[in-house]
Structure 1
Amino acid sequence: MANPWAGEVALVVDGQEHICKLTLGALAELEAALGAGSVLEVAQRFESGAFATRDILAVLVAGLRGGGWQGTAEALLGAEIAGGPVGAAKVAAELLARAFGAGPDTGAGDG
């Protein structure tokens, strides 16, 4: 079960729950994957609604890796994510919010 106070968010992939967390290493990987100047730039994309599906995928992969997952972005492309694209976007947004200190009471991604 995810611990929201530790910045964790649950993501169900192919029927299996995984814990996601944006660690410092995961955030660095995220910046590199998206060619962003900073992780704040990535967060601003989500806040403004100007994010792309590749942004969602990159945040999820980084979060999964921060939680100990050893998979690849390619593996996630063919996976069934609980909640579909909307559920994936909610988890990605929640990961970014928790990485920057937002409280766990937002309700997204606790599945």
Structure 2
Amino acid sequence: MANPWTGEVALVIDGERRAMKLTLGALAELEDGLGAASLVELVERFESSAFSSRDVLALITAGLRGGGLEVSQAEVGRAEIDGGPMGAARAAAQLLARAFMVPGQDAA
């Protein structure tokens, strides 16, 4: 079960429920790999719905790795994700939001 208070988000991928979490290392990789000048830029992409499928794939992969699953972006790209592309996008946005959640904020 994912613990939202620690920044975790649940995702069912290939029929298995996984807890995703963004670590500091994953966030640094995301900045570099996605060509974002800062994490704020990445957050703004999601807030304005200007994110790409590449952004979603990178976030899901980083979150799964942070949750302890050794997986590549290619493997995630071929996986079946509950809710399809929109389910993946929602999970990615929630993962990014929880990474910057201030203690005491609603974790829903």
TM (norm. structure 1) is 0.90
Query: Match of 2:40?
Result: 40
Question: Which amino acid in 2 is paired with 1:98?
Answer: R
Q: Which of 101, 104, 107 pairs up with 1:104?
A: 107
SS at match of 1:68: coil
Aligned structure 1 segments of 4 or more residues deviating by more than 2 angstroms: none
Question: Which amino acid in 2 is paired with 1:84?
Answer: G
Matches within 5 A, 1:1-111: 1-101=1-101, 103-105=106-108
Sequence identity percentage: 60
Q: 2:27 & 2:106 partners in 1: Cα distance?
A: 19
In structure 1, list runs of 5 or more residues that go unmatched. 106-111
Question: Which amino acid in 1 is paired with 2:91?
Answer: V
In structure 2, list runs of 5 or more residues that go unmatched. none
TM (norm. structure 2) is 0.93
Q: 1:104 & 1:69 partners in 2: Cα distance?
A: 23
Q: Is the 8 A contact 1:5 1:103 kept in 2?
A: no
CA RMSD of aligned residues (A): 0.9
Shift of 1:103: 2.5
